[in-house]
């Protein structure tokens, strides 16, 4: 009875407050229903960096900030952080062996995350295709947090490119940031170091080959009660926008951003085929194979990820805030307003993670990610490849229509280019008739929502069963 009276008093105060965005209102939700989920909008998930990255305590941070934290974490940690400083050194396959050392007595823990690209992708069924590079399930992310004993409501997680940061490794760190945001972690608990550990200057006493022992944890990811799946745009969303000019039931202006190289964007055959059209990483089948179709999503603007990077040491880091803003103004529009939306894609979701981070967490525009990228879009064409099926002409998931894909006069099918490509060199895939006419292509996203609502298992099974033929 006392709880009910208290809630009525709080509700009364909230409703009578003149300020529409009264800060206490969100906290009523878990009080009224402890199992409720806060469903984010894109505008809820933006943050704006300081023009001086040294002043940031989340998002993109510098080595000076890391040094200050490491020297005295208890004194210098951000006000909202009550837990540990978790330094995660992100490596692909060959770790450097030299890391920022832990200082556990003061709450600083340091770990190596090796083979990170395989940890932060998963083979999942969309309803039409099984794609090997999709965002990992909640169960996989939860297991990752438990492996390193991370409590994302209390700890600050810093993603550090191990060794020297080339573009791919640096982009991978932003991919991980994006995945952790997608799975509900607050931006104040996440940071990315601007540059590789080996490319930056750290005091000698901060660097050695020691790492923290992994002791394991028990954090329950759905306990965040936060649904950030709006960050993932599907091909269904893009079809709707390109055919109706509406996105997420909003009339806001929308920019589709292609983060691939200009050679991929324009299909420039004056350069080596392997550079302009083959996979940047083997995240879809055979790296020596081409996808069925080249081109770009209709209305897309090209913002290559490399254009936002500058050299430091033998690696890369983000350009200055002002340089990034100027790049966006010159290549997109100088008239962008805060209500405008961005959808960013690349081939497999790596380079788009870097550009998406810049849009969402540096300059601060509402941004979503078409993570399935050009891989899914190209596979959804109707051009058959050798020993494989194509989508039937009347499949609702076909992308080779002029309102969806450019160039369209003609469409550029790789199997038609011989001997440069030839059908034998195009990625083969199989698709069932029932899948070609599936009612949805976002089964993976629906499974994520179910996990957030605690209606699914740990996510150990990443390939949901395929639907039956909707045509009977």
Percent of the chain with pLDDT strictly greater than 90: 67
Are 232 and 124 spatial neighbours (Cβ–Cβ below 8 Å)?
no
Cα–Cα distances in angstroms (integers) from residue 322 to residues 52, 165, 200, in the given order: 10, 22, 21
Report residue 13 CA to chain centroid gap.
39
Return the CATH number of the domain spanning residue range 230-442.
3.40.250.10
Cut 0.85: pTM above it? yes
pLDDT at 341 over 50: yes
pLDDT-based confidence at 125, cuts 50/70/90?
Answer: very high
Q: Give me the pLDDT at residue 463, please.
A: 41
pLDDT tens readout for residues 382-394: 875 555 567 888 9
Which residue carries 């009612």 as its tokens?
439
Q: Give me the pLDDT at residue 434, please.
A: 84
Q: Give me the pLDDT at residue 393, please.
A: 85
> Which residues neighbour 260 within 8 Å (Cβ) at sequence distance 6 or greater?
302, 304, 346, 347, 351, 374
pLDDT at 462 over 80: no
Determine the average pLDDT of the residues in 302-326.
Answer: 97
pLDDT-based confidence at 270, cuts 50/70/90?
Answer: low
Q: Give me the pLDDT at residue 291, please.
A: 78
pLDDT-based confidence at 201, cuts 50/70/90?
Answer: very high
**90-94, 223-227, 276-280: range with highest mean pLDDT:** 223-227
pLDDT at 83 over 80: yes
pLDDT tens readout for residues 9-64: 444 544 444 433 333 344 444 445 667 899 999 999 999 999 999 999 999 999 99
pLDDT-based confidence at 294, cuts 50/70/90?
Answer: confident
Residue 361: exposure state from Cβ atoms within 10 A (0-12, 13-18, ≥19): buried
Alpha helix segments (H runs only) across 55-164: 63-71, 73-76, 116-119, 138-147
Percent of the chain with pLDDT strictly greater than 70: 80
Cα(264)–Cα(278) distance, integer angstroms: 9
Higher-confidence position of 84 and 263? 84
- 37-228 folds as Oxidized Rhodanese; domain 1 (3.40.250)
Q: Give me the pLDDT at residue 297, please.
A: 98
pLDDT at 450 over 70: yes
pLDDT at 470 over 70: no
Gap between the terminal Cα atoms of the chain:
54
Tokens of 203: 């005091």
pLDDT tens readout for residues 206-222: 999 999 999 999 999 99
Residue range(s) occupied by CATH 3.40.250.10 in the chain? 37-228, 230-442
pLDDT at 345 over 60: yes
Q: Give me the pLDDT at residue 289, please.
A: 67
Q: Give me the pLDDT at residue 146, please.
A: 98
Cα(77)–Cα(56) distance, integer angstroms: 12
Q: Give me the pLDDT at residue 454, please.
A: 87
Higher-confidence position of 82 and 272? 82
pLDDT at 459 over 60: no
H/E segment holding residue 13: helix 2-16
pLDDT-based confidence at 422, cuts 50/70/90?
Answer: low
Determine the average pLDDT of the residues in 297-314.
Answer: 97
When the pLDDT of each residue in the chain is averaged and rounded to a whole number, the result is 85
SS in 3 state form for 256-278?
A: EEECCCHHHHHCCCCCCHHHHCC
> Which residues neighbour 295 within 8 Å (Cβ) at sequence distance 6 or greater?
267, 405, 406, 407, 408, 411, 412
pLDDT at 4 over 50: no
Determine the average pLDDT of the residues in 280-298.
Answer: 65
pLDDT at 401 over 80: yes
Q: Give me the pLDDT at residue 456, please.
A: 53
> Which residues neighbour 332 within 8 Å (Cβ) at sequence distance 6 or greater?
255, 257, 301, 303
Cα(26)–Cα(363) distance, integer angstroms: 25
């Amino acid at each position: 009875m006392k709880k009910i009276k208290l809630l009525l008093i709080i509700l009364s105060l909230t409703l009578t407050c003149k300020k529409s965005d009264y800060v206490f209102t969100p906290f009523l939700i878990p009080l009224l229903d402890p199992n409720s989920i806060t469903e984010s909008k894109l505008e809820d998930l933006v943050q704006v960096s300081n023009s001086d990255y040294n002043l940031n305590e989340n998002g993109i941070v510098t080595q000076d900030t890391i040094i200050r934290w490491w020297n005295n974490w208890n004194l210098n940690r951000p006000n909202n952080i009550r837990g540990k400083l978790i330094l995660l050194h992100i490596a692909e396959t060959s770790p450097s062996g030299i890391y920022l050392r832990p200082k556990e007595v003061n709450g600083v823990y340091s770990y190596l995350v090796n083979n990170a690209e395989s940890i932060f992708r998963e083979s999942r069924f969309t309803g039409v295709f099984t794609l090997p590079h999709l965002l990992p399930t909640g169960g996989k992310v939860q297991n990752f947090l438990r492996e390193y004993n991370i409590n994302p409501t209390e700890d600050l997680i810093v993603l550090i490119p191990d060794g020297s940061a080339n573009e791919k490794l640096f982009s991978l760190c932003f991919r991980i940031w994006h995945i952790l945001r997608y799975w509900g972690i607050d931006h104040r608990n996440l940071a990315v170091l601007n540059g590789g550990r080996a490319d930056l200057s750290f005091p000698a006493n901060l660097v050695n080959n020691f790492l923290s022992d992994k002791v394991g944890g028990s954090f329950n990811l759905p306990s965040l009660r936060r649904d950030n799946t709006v960050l993932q745009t599907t091909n269904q969303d893009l079809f709707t926008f390109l055919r109706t000019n509406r996105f997420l039931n909003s009339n806001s202006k929308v920019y589709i951003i292609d983060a691939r190289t200009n050679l991929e964007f324009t299909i420039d055959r004056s350069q080596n085929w392997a550079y302009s059209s083959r996979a940047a990483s083997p995240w879809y089948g055979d790296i020596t194979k081409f996808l069925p179709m080249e081109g770009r999503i209709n209305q897309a603007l090209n913002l290559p990820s490399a254009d936002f990077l500058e050299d430091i040491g033998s690696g890369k880091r983000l350009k200055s805030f002002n340089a990034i803003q100027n790049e966006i103004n010159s290549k997109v529009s100088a008239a962008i307003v805060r209500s405008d939306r961005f959808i960013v894609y690349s081939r497999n979701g790596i380079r788009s993670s870097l550009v998406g981070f810049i849009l969402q967490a540096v300059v601060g525009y509402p941004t979503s990610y078409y993570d399935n990228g050009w891989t899914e879009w190209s596979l959804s064409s109707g051009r058959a490849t050798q020993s494989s099926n194509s989508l039937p002409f009347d499949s609702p998931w076909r992308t080779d229509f002029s309102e969806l894909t450019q160039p369209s006069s003609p469409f550029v099918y790789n199997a038609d280019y011989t001997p440069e490509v030839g059908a034998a060199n195009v990625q083969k895939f199989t698709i069932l008739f029932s899948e070609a006419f599936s009612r949805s292509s976002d089964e993976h996203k629906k499974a994520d929502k179910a996990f957030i609502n605690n209606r699914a298992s740990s996510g150990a099974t990443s390939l949901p069963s395929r639907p039956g033929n909707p045509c009977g």
